[in-house]
Structure 1
Amino acid sequence: MVNASEPSITPAQVRAARAWLNWNQDYLARKAGLSKTTLNRFEQGLSILNSETSGRLRKTLEEAGIQFQFRKMLATGISIVNLSSEP
């Protein structure tokens, strides 16, 4: 579940995180328990994720070593804390 006081991750942050991890949409969708269509539509900016889905996506990427960066609740990028050895 996403904490309402935390800013939401953005499609650009998710795309960047996937690129750093060298994960394709299929892999991330499976790991986060989402459909590829849901992830694809979010990354393209065609849909907004509900808080539960956003939370699962964020948690999956954070557990893989991604840290989302924000300034005053606005997304500014990502940083890599610790890359997992997964594909």
Structure 2
Amino acid sequence: MTNTFHTVTVERAAEAYVLSRGKARFLSIAQAIRAIRTLMPACRATDRELEEMLAAACITHRVPVAFDATAADGEGPRLHS
């Protein structure tokens, strides 16, 4: 018996997360980043890079998105959808 493990890229994880939230009212960027960092603790992507990947996947799959992550410069959350 052979077990095959597929490599999960950050991009695939972001898209899978977006698809899993397709029926929700909106996708929280902050919550999505936390989930990806939990799933992939060695992820080297910055929060901003993850935010961009998640936003692109949301646009592609027509999932409403809340940009609620705190900015790196200490500003409060950006709440645009």
* Greater C-alpha radius of gyration: 2
TM-score, with length taken from structure 2: 0.29
Higher relative strand content: 1
TM-score, with length taken from structure 1: 0.28
